[in-house]
Amino acid sequence: MPTRIPAALLCGLIYSLGTAGAAMAETIVIDDQVQVRDTSVTKPKRGISMTQVEAKFGAPTTKHDAVGKPPITRWDYPNFSVFFEYDHVIDAVATSG
């Protein structure tokens, strides 16, 4: 009797083999121009709190005041910036350092 591999398992295996060595890229702005570059910068994940960010990455080099409604705050680190809505991460982007 032939062995059958469930289609979902087979698709997952093919996907993981195809993306295992994939490079990561970020869209960044340098000197007011949008560019794409490879990055391996570790950044905070969406949804974690300001307290968790500071515990994992230390104090930011700059904390910008909140603006707008809802309030959006930006913290700058040497290699990335983190954007918060209230006190939770909504995005983190690599910077040129």
Q: What is the pLDDT of residues 11-34, one digit of tens each?
A: 444 444 443 444 456 666 777 777
Domain presence at residue 51:
yes
Domain presence at residue 13:
yes
Domain presence at residue 67:
yes
Tell me whether residue 53 is exposed, middle or buried, using C-beta atoms within 10 angstroms of its C-beta: 0 to 12, 13 to 18, 19 or more. buried
When divided into structural domains, the chain yields a total of 1
Domain presence at residue 36:
yes
Domain presence at residue 19:
yes
Domain presence at residue 1:
no
Residue with the two structure tokens 């959006």: 72
Rounded average pLDDT per 10-residue block, the chain, 97 residues: 46 41 58 71 94 97 96 95 97 80
Domain presence at residue 89:
yes
Q: 37 lies in which domain range?
A: 7-94
CA–CA separation, 75 and 67 (whole Å): 13
Q: What's residue 27's pLDDT?
A: 66
Q: How far is CA 7 from the centre of its chain?
A: 31
